[in-house]
A and B are shown apart, each in its own frame.
Chain A
């Protein structure tokens, strides 16, 4: 049966959808959804193209989870936390939604940094408060985007083993389903500019991804900060081969180290999209450029995502890159300027989709029969 690829793009003002056949050359845009709400997190259902979970927020009205089972025609709304539950920290945004390997299990990462779990497909939620009981919690400080829990990775073979990434704090891992957590940042350059005095909580990690076929292997896009007055910068892309216990840099061949998103395909292709620097968060020389590694970061290939020939002085945020599960891998990127770029061949060729959207916060892709 012919397959189709669906793309969902979350922005500061709503969700936008595109669909294509499996060639991924010709994209059709759907109607805007939830245009009054900021959408930091999207979760598509691999079994149902009309089922969508969305983390919505608003500067005045706060954050809730919305779910549609009819492609966005109607929505139900769930609060992760209701006001009769006094809390030490505010819940301002839902940054990440993820499925766990156990049935009916979903995870949500929020700001201020906390992890929530649902065991009933998102109908009710409970904070995994072992994480926020970590002794370093009083020293967690926000990055520019807020104190966000932006990465949630669950070992497909052991659902009690979970990693989370928090900006500007670091990586935490539990092996007991969330009761206790270890801060795992060995090998990362300490960042005193986070303002945290705690060695367990001074790392501005931007994104982590897990190798689903080898859950001891993780990759990280790090902040890559300016370390010295003469502009020397830290490494920005790291790999762990021991379940995040230690990290080593893999960006020797990357001319730019600073960036936000990172994605790993089932075939092991690793994608990053660097920006100029922490002080200048735009594409270098107006060229949206992606780098791909097919050997775990040992070497990198430059891919120009410049689809139009026009200079592009925007950037890309941490969750605004997505891959599909086709071969060759489809790669999708949304920019802070509202452009969406799509590649049907692992980044070798690109097109800009025919729409200019609000600032893009997150992108997701799924393939359907």
Chain B
């Protein structure tokens, strides 16, 4: 299982005991998202809608690249890959 990092935006760090970065064991994007749900359920409440999809104004970056609105869950992750949760620019 690859160890990847997940960057947490400042506004959500009270869901992660103040941590800006989490380490997740995941070899696919889908297993990384599942790890967020399992290990950080309050963070997951802010990131995922009731449908299980990302909230409409939440973006997921993989090695600084935007993933699709519905991320490919079977996309492989390599050790050291970086994921980031980002709020989409909304409004003016």
Contacts and interface: CB of A to CB of B under 8 A. Distances in A.
Interface of A: 36, 58-62, 64, 75, 77-79, 81-84, 86-87, 89-91
B37 to A, nearest CB: 6
Best-surrounded residue of A61, A75, A86, A90 (most CB of chain B within 10 A): A61
Contacts of A84: 37, 41, 44
A77 B14 contact: yes
B52 interface: yes
8 contacts: A58-B11, A61-B58, A81-B45, A82-B41, A83-B41, A83-B47, A84-B44, A86-B51
Contacts of B87: 60-61
A79 B42 contact: yes
Best-surrounded residue of A81, A83, A87, A89 (most CB of chain B within 10 A): A83
A117 B40 CA distance: 23
Contacts of A75: 14
Nearest to A75: B14
Contact of B11 (A36, A59, A81, A87): A36
Best-surrounded residue of B11, B37, B45, B58 (most CB of chain A within 10 A): B45
A296 B90 CA distance: 47
Interface of B: 11-12, 14-15, 37, 41-42, 44-52, 55, 57-58, 87-88, 90
Contacts of A86: 50-52
Given A59-B57, A60-B55, A61-B12, A90 B49 contact: yes
Nearest to B86: A60
Contacts of A81: 45, 50
A114 to B, nearest CB: 12
A357 to B, nearest CB: 20
B57 A82 contact: no
Contact of A62 (B37, B52, B55, B88): B55
A93 to B, nearest CB: 13
A159 B86 CA distance: 44
A82 to B, nearest CB: 5
Contacts of A78: 42
A58 B47 CA distance: 11
A60 B15 CA distance: 15
B15 A91 contact: no
A90 B56 CA distance: 12
A86 B53 CA distance: 11
A64 B58 contact: no
B41 A61 contact: no
B14 A61 contact: no
Best-surrounded residue of A60, A62, A77, A82 (most CB of chain B within 10 A): A60
